[in-house]
Amino acid sequence: MITFSEIGLKPELVDAVSDLGFETPTPIQAEAIPFLIDSDQDLIGSAQTGTGKTAAFGLPALHKTEIENKNTQTLILCPTRELCIQITKDLKAYAKYCKDLNIVAIYGGASMEGQIREMRRGAQVIVGTPGRTRDMIERRKLFVNDIKHLILDEADEMLTMGFKDELDAILSETPEDKQTLLFSATMSRDIRRITKRYMTDPKEIAVAKVNLAAKNVKHIYYLVSGRDKYEVAKRIADMNPDIYGIIFCRTRRDTNEVAARLIQDGYNADALNGDLSQAQRDEVMGKFRKRTIQILVATDIAARGLDVKELTHVMNFDLPDDPEVYVHRSGRTGRAGSYGLSIAICTTRELRRIRDIERTSEIAFEKTPVPGGKEICERQLFALIDRIQNIKVNEEQIEPYLETIYEKLADFDRETLIRHFVSAEFNRFLDYYKNARDINLNYDEKSKKRERERKSFDEKRNIPYQPIRLGLGKFNSMNPKRLLAIINQTLDSSSAEIGRIDIQKSWTIFEIDTKYAQQLVKASKGSEFEMTLTDEKPAGRGGRSGGGKGGFKRSGGRNGGKPKRFGDSKKSFSKKGSRGKSRRF
């Protein structure tokens, strides 16, 4: 196997990589680095977080940098502040022996004046988010008309977050003869549009999905009702006294609510989401890295670029729509050879997503019962005894108090003393869990029978369907009712039979009676709702959507809607107040 010392990099880069403890490149690094060192050809890399792509594009960019030239030579664009900071940190570590090679991060939520001052001192490499980079270009503080290398990292996520206009504006300012590198976990139609418009004869490199290598991560799911999701998260934390993990939620509001309840219940927890300022994010992340915070509750976007090792648990409070997002989440545990656990807390409606993840990501989930009160109490009791047994006694500090302590406890024999001590520390757990109910949902044979009947009903319908793709999704306020309105308006008819509907973040796929498919595609051409025929199958549940104009009656084709909130809907939790004290037992 080739090593970094044999790959063709400058000695100072090899020395820095060696200091970081890396000897052999990952698959994408082994393919990309030699190619990029010797070639100025454009490159498309299909790679996910955790495959080593920062070094794959970063080391060749540093290798090719003309240090004596203080102008910007490489521009790296990425979707979030956290990822921008992480890439910059990694590149600076690689370049620590490259004197006078300057790398500057530019992102929103931080002082623009400070970033401008750094660029004025000369920055051969700029790492930026699309919004702040565009601002700097328009203010004529950043000049990209002579750059030699443009790198788009996590391009799919940038488009998903709505940075299409910013990317187009930035790319239009760059020279045509530059080398463009694009890294993306998925290759959507919008990504392909960028490659066709801004790239020339790109080489393509694809690496195995990150989850295939994560054999030391166990995947389990708990099946409960929506109102019991928080109780599951709490029981997992109680079952694992040394937990150090992330709970992923779908929305900012959910992260605040879950974190607030955890803090209220005495756990070291906090939320990380887009509502926080950069200073607040840095504070939360600093505490999490130092383990002052044991449980971080975050959205996927806020957690981008989060580089924290030795996580014991990843909890999915809400399962993502995209199976690849689950792979990103689960890959944050089980790193560096350690064992990790990825947990999905799901309802019966989310079982389809479990099956989708298993099918597309080669992951096998294990259905597991939620821990009961007796089981949790036993775990906490033995953890308490282990801590007492292993605690370091400071004889010098406690010596002045021992005589008084002995006098007070003189009437207790050994067994009575142990009982009193354990009860003092443990009664609150026993009180909380003494009447703990079984919150597991029994997905019994009757439920399975109903599912088989629904499937059989769909199969017996002899209508031939054609899948259609529409380049609008949830971020464009698309929903089944609006989709039916668009279809009826485009066809000028409400008689078309609609099958399954699958609405994702930036696109929609639905089935329509084959005899209407060509007519619909032709009628939509050139409009803002332009549609195309596709071979992709929608993942949504089937159902008839007759939908006359104005009514759009619908029974099926459901895409899940908004997730139910957990807990008491009348209760509102805000993220204010002091941090929770450590809950030991």
pLDDT digit string (tens) for the chain, length 585 residues: 688 888 889 999 999 999 988 888 888 899 999 999 999 999 998 876 667 889 999 999 999 999 999 999 999 999 888 889 989 999 999 999 999 999 999 998 788 999 999 999 999 999 999 999 999 999 999 999 999 999 999 888 888 778 888 999 999 999 999 999 998 877 777 788 888 888 999 999 887 544 343 567 899 999 999 999 999 999 999 999 889 999 999 888 899 999 999 999 889 999 998 788 778 888 898 899 889 999 999 988 766 656 677 889 999 999 987 777 788 788 788 765 567 899 999 998 888 889 888 887 778 899 999 998 888 888 888 877 877 777 888 888 888 888 888 888 888 888 888 788 777 767 777 777 878 888 888 765 455 555 555 555 555 456 788 999 999 998 888 999 889 989 988 888 877 888 889 999 889 999 999 989 999 999 999 888 999 998 888 875 444 444 433 333 333 333 444 333 333 333 333 333 433 433 333
| CA-closest candidate to residue 293, choices 315, 277, 308 | 308
- Structural domains in the chain (count): 4
Pairing assessment for the beta strands 531-533 and 465-470 based on DSSP bridges: antiparallel
Quick one: 386 and 361 in the same domain? no
Pairing assessment for the beta strands 508-513 and 498-503 based on DSSP bridges: antiparallel
Residue-number span of the structural domain to which 524 is assigned: 450-533
Domain end marker among 174, 208, 242: 208
Task: Tell me the three-class secondary structure of 15-65, residue by residue.
Answer: HHHHHCCCCCCCHHHHHHHHHHHHCCCCEEEECCCCCCHHHHHHHHHHHHC
pLDDT at residue number 94: 95
Residue 553 is assigned to a structural domain of this protein: no
- CA dist 293 and 299 (Å) reads 17
Quick one: 274 and 187 in the same domain? no
pLDDT per residue over 172-205, tens digit each? Answer: 999 999 999 998 877 777 788 888 888 999 999 8
pLDDT at residue number 454: 57
Residue 37 is assigned to a structural domain of this protein: yes
- Amino acid letter, 425: E
Domain end marker among 158, 178, 208: 208
Quick one: 420 and 482 in the same domain? no
Domain end marker among 324, 351, 372: 372
Quick one: 298 and 174 in the same domain? no
Residue 386 is assigned to a structural domain of this protein: yes
Residue 569 is assigned to a structural domain of this protein: no
- Cβ atoms within 10 A of the Cβ of 337, count? 6
Residue 583 is assigned to a structural domain of this protein: no
Quick one: 224 and 97 in the same domain? no
List the CATH number of the domain containing 170: 3.40.50.300
Quick one: 11 and 31 in the same domain? yes
List the CATH number of the domain containing 491: 3.30.70
Q: What angle do CA 248, 357, 190 make, to 5 degrees?
A: 85
Residue 225 is assigned to a structural domain of this protein: yes
- CA dist 229 and 477 (Å) reads 27
Quick one: 41 and 103 in the same domain? yes
pLDDT at residue number 570: 37
pLDDT at residue number 452: 59
| CA-closest candidate to residue 150, choices 222, 77, 232 | 77
Quick one: 253 and 322 in the same domain? yes
Spatial neighbors of 284 by CB under 8 A, at least 6 apart, are 270, 271, 272, 276, 293, 296
Quick one: 183 and 299 in the same domain? no
Residue 559 is assigned to a structural domain of this protein: no
pLDDT per residue over 41-73, tens digit each? Answer: 999 988 766 678 899 999 999 999 999 999 999
Quick one: 40 and 135 in the same domain? yes
Spatial neighbors of 59 by CB under 8 A, at least 6 apart, are 9, 13, 17, 29, 33, 94
Q: How far is CA 177 from CA 10, 145, 174, in A?
A: 25, 10, 9
Quick one: 322 and 404 in the same domain? no
Residue 162 is assigned to a structural domain of this protein: yes
- The dihedrals phi and psi of 271, each to the nearest 5 degrees, come to -105, 150
Quick one: 365 and 391 in the same domain? no
Rounded CA Rg of the chain: 28
